[in-house]
């Protein structure tokens, strides 16, 4: 029909995104197919070398390692965040906004400052070690800082609010009569959670998981500060190519691979969410 | 008393200082279609939730087959509830929804399958087994919810405003359908409703609730013809009220004329009362009836089946309503402003404390 949608309202966003997102991405993509100059810089002859190098076991290994770390962070954040969201959604309606506000409060402070705070906590003479000492633990503690665990802890901490928000939305939307119906039909509390609440809120968990994964796999600040250069994640590798190795074409190829992974996951998640929410067929008769 | 399947004994439910249910005792028999009728805030839904197990009585007990079930959680009661919102599981198909309760009983797979099929047959939806709830119409969802809660063959099925979300025509069909299904399964139905017509049509017995208290219970006929309180008379159907006073054993209307009626013993001499009559008991013309009134036609509403005439009369501050059958209406070509006389008999007159 002729009901005109105000599409023109999208124009500013479209212009902004094309200017500052699509065009730079295309430039980086183009860069990936050129050769690196001997003293840095770019030589404009076409090559697939950079792309092929991404699949070199050395670099592919870093991709896999990053994916494993991001996956662990996303998994832990999803479990912890879902539990928190569940608890908030179970509170009286009047208190929920305050609790949500508290959950996302860390977001309002600087990312770097928060990550440095973790260094203070995990340090050899940091708070955790001091507390352990005070409690009478005198043996040498395993190093907390500059480990893979520290990186995962930092990533989970940083992205937890995303998961809480993503899981809270479907939990809060659930009609209380649905879980009551499950109880009424003979299910206990755990069965009701497993068969009703959890499946109905999977889209929220998936959104949270993918968010944390995508943000973690490309992150370079947390691995640099809490990993202490013990190992590299893709983010650090890309950073190094552009800023220290001066190999922009290879850095471009790496970032393209990273973006491809992220886009793939986000697309998958969007489709999965759409399917889980019933597919919107609406051909009811009668 | 002994034949009661479900016995509600002096039950109260307090929410802080508010008494949602305030001392209700009721016996509900096996195979009965029972209606809890009341306006919103009357406590009918709270009472229903206590029967289902979602609320625990603050005071009193609920007996099922003579056993106290007041504190048994909902998943261990042989009582099922059909929710007002139907509460179908959106991520499951129609067949999965119906099977859910049976799976909780750990029935063999084959039996679950055959019972689900039987249930879908009963609600006439076998072709929709694979649909998800949001692919169904409101009426279909209502049938699925009914099938799901009946599949477990509960001792008692509770229905919370079961027809509230349906349009008027469908509601009429479903009233009869529910009665048929109740009869076929021989299960006790307790339905909560604020719709008096629904209660009259469906129920074997009706309890009228108000402010957490039980006002009256009885068959639809008893409730409609012999309401015990002014509230019940007004809530069920339409009632015309005439202020009157009991003088020397006779009822005197505002203008001094007399009403003939049986006055309850509880009313003393000189007391202000209300004489009442149903619109369909009023007849045009004085005839041989004991009571009569004269009034002017203020408005008329044609309903097909009958003609509703509103009369202004000095006997009542509110307009008095008459319901004339199509035949009677044709016999008297009424128009607005006409002065007419209507009569009714003493045995159709009820008297309530003012």
Give CA–CA dist B186/B147, Å, rounded.
Answer: 15
Could you give the number of structural domains in chain A?
A: 1
CB atoms B80 and A184 under 8 Å? yes
Q: Does B132 touch chain A (CB under 8 A)?
A: yes
| DSSP labels, B186-252 | T-EEEEEES-HHHHHHH-SEEEEEETTEEEEEE-HHHHHHS-SSHHHHHHSS--EEEEEEEETTEEE
User: Quick check: is A254 in a domain?
Assistant: yes
Q: Is residue A23 part of a domain?
A: no
Which residues make Cβ contacts (< 8 Å) with residue A229, sequence separation at least 6? A146
Q: Where are the alpha helices (DSSP H) in B62-166?
A: 94-104, 109-122, 138-150
CB B199 within 8 A of CB B11: no
Domain extent for A197: 71-274
User: Any CB–CB contact under 8 A between A166 and chain B?
Assistant: no
Residue A170 within a domain = yes
- What pLDDT is attached to residue B168? 85
Decide: residue B222, CB within 10 A, 0-12 exposed, 13-18 middle, 19+ buried. Answer: middle
CA-closest candidate to residue B22, choices B298, B171, B215, B155: B215
Measured distance CA(A238)–CA(A261) in Å, rounded: 15
- CATH code, domain carrying A266: 1.10.3720.10
- CATH 3.30.2270.10 assigned to B4-230: no
> What single DSSP character describes residue B126?
G
**B325 touching A, CB under 8 A?**
no
Mean pLDDT of A139-149: 81
pLDDT score at A279: 44
Domain boundaries, chain B: 4-230, 238-353
What confidence score (pLDDT) does residue B120 get?
A: 93
**DSSP string over chain A:** ------GGGGHHHHHHHIIIIIHHHHHHHHHTTSEEPTTSSEE----SHHHHHHTSHHHHHHHHHHHHHHHHHHHHHHHHHHHHHHHHHHS-GGGHHHHHHHHHGGGGS-HHHHHHHHHHHHSTTSHHHHHHHHTT--SPPPP-SSSHHHHHHHHHHHHHHHHHHHHHHHHHHS-HHHHHHHHHTT--HHHHIIIIIHHHHHHHHHHHHHHHHHHHHT--HHHHHHSTTSS--HHHHHHHHHHTS--HHHHHHHHHHHHHHHHHHHHHHHHHHHHHTTTT------
**Is the Cβ of B96 closer than 8 Å to some Cβ of chain A?**
no
Q: What pLDDT, on a 0 to 100 scale, did the predictor assign at position B326?
A: 80
Q: What percent of chain B has pLDDT over 90?
A: 67
A173 touches B: beta carbon within 8 Å? no
Q: How far apart are CA B239 and CA B280, in angstroms?
A: 10
List of chain B residues whose C-beta atoms are within 8 Å of the C-beta of residue A281: 132, 135
Provide the token pair at B166: 């349906």
Contact yes or no for B75 and A281 at CB 8 A? no
Contact B54, A177 (CB under 8 A): no
**Residue A166 reports pLDDT greater than 80:** yes
Name every residue whose Cβ is closer than 8 Å to that of residue B60 and which is 6 or more positions away in sequence: B8, B9, B10, B11, B12, B23, B24, B25, B70
Asked whether the beta carbons of B341 and B285 are under 8 A apart, the reply is yes
Q: Give the separation between CA A21 and CA A24, rounded to whole angstroms.
A: 6
DSSP β-ladder status, B156-160 and B188-193: parallel
pLDDT in tens, A204-262: 999 999 999 999 998 988 998 888 877 789 999 999 998 888 889 999 999 999 999 99
- ipTM for the whole predicted complex goes beyond 0.90: no
pLDDT digits (tens, 9 = 90+) for B279-311: 999 988 867 788 888 899 999 998 888 889 999
A285 pLDDT higher than 70: no
Side by side, which strands form the sheet with B339-344? Answer: B283-284, B339-344, B291-302, B306-312, B320-325
Fold type of domain B238-353: OB fold (Dihydrolipoamide Acetyltransferase, E2P) (2.40.50)
> Could B89 and A178 be called an inter-chain contact, meaning their C-beta atoms sit closer than 8 Å?
yes
Q: Residues B130-136: what's their mean pLDDT? A: 94
Please answer whether residues B282 and B322 qualify as being in contact, where contact means their C-beta atoms are separated by less than 8 angstroms.
yes
Within 8 A of B73 by CB-CB distance, chain A residues are 183
pTM of the model: 0.83
What pLDDT does residue A121 have? 85
Q: How do residues B171-230 score in pLDDT, each as one tens digit?
A: 888 899 999 999 998 999 999 999 998 999 999 999 999 999 999 999 999 999 999 999
pLDDT at A3: 65
Structure confidence at residue A143 as a pLDDT band (50, 70, 90): confident
d(CA A185, CA B81): 8
| Residue A1 falls inside a structural domain | no
């Amino acid at each position: 029909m002729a009901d005109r949608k105000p599409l023109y309202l999208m124009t500013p966003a479209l212009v902004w995104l094309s200017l500052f997102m699509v065009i730079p991405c295309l430039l980086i993509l183009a860069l990936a197919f050129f050769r690196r100059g001997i003293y840095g810089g770019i030589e404009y002859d076409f090559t697939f070398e950079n792309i092929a190098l991404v699949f070199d076991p050395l670099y592919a290994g870093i991709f896999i390692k990053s994916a494993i770390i991001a996956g662990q962070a996303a998994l832990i954040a999803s479990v912890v965040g879902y539990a928190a969201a569940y608890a908030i959604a179970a509170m009286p309606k009047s208190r929920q906004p305050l609790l949500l506000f508290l959950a996302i409060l860390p977001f309002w402070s600087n990312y770097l400052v928060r990550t440095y705070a973790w260094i203070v906590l995990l340090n050899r003479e940091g708070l955790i070690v001091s507390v352990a000492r005070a409690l009478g633990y005198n043996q040498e503690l395993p190093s907390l800082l500059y480990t893979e665990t520290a990186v995962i802890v930092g990533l989970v901490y940083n992205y937890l609010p995303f998961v809480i928000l993503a899981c809270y939305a479907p939990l809060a939307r659930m009609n209380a009569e649905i879980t009551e119906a499950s109880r009424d039909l003979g299910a206990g509390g755990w069965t009701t959670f497993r068969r009703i609440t959890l499946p109905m809120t999977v889209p929220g968990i998936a959104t949270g998981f993918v968010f944390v994964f995508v943000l973690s796999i490309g992150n370079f600040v947390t691995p640099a500060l809490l990993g202490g250069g013990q190992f590299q994640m893709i983010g650090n590798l890309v950073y190094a190519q552009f800023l220290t190795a001066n190999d922009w074409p290879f850095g471009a190829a790496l970032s393209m691979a990273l973006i491809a992974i992220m886009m793939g996951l986000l697309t998958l998640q969007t489709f999965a969410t759409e399917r889980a929410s019933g597919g919107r067929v609406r051909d009811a008769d009668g | 008393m002994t034949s009661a399947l479900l016995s509600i004994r002096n039950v109260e439910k307090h929410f802080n200082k508010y008494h949602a249910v305030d001392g209700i005792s009721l016996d509900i028999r096996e195979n009965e279609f029972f209606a809890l009728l009341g306006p919103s805030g009357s406590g009918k839904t709270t009472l229903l939730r206590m029967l289902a197990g979602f609320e625990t009585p603050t005071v009193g007990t609920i007996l099922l087959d003579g056993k106290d079930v007041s504190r048994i959680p909902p998943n261990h009661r042989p009582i099922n509830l059909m929710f007002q919102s139907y509460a179908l599981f959106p991520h499951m198909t129609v067949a999965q929804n119906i099977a859910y309760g049976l799976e909780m009983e750990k029935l063999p797979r084959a039996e679950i399958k055959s019972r689900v099929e039987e249930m879908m047959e009963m609600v006439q939806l076998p072709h929709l087994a694979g649909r998800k709830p949001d692919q169904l119409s409101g009426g279909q969802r209502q049938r699925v919810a009914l099938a799901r809660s009946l599949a477990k063959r509960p001792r008692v099925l509770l229905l919370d405003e079961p027809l509230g979300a349906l349009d008027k025509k469908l509601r009429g069909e479903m009233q009869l359908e529910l009665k048929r299904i109740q009869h076929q399964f021989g299960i006790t139905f307790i339905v909560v409703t604020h719709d008096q017509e629904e209660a009259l049509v469906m129920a074997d017995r009706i309890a009228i609730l108000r402010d957490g208290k039980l006002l009256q219970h009885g068959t639809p006929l008893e409730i409609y013809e012999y309401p015990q309180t002014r509230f019940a008379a007004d809530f069920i159907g339409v009632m015309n009220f005439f202020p009157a006073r009991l003088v020397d054993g006779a009822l005197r209307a505002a203008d001094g004329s007399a009403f003939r009626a049986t006055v309850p013993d509880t009313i003393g001499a000189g007391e202000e009362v209300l004489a009442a009559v149903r619109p369909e008991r009023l007849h045009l013309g004085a005839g041989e009836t004991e009571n009569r009134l004269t009034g002017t036609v203020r408005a008329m509403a044609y309903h097909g089946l009958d003609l509703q005439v509103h009369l202004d009369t000095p006997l009542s501050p509110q307009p008095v309503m008459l319901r004339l059958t199509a035949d009677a209406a044709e016999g008297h070509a009424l128009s607005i402003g006409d002065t007419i006389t209507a009569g009714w008999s003493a045995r159709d007159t009820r008297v309530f404390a003012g």
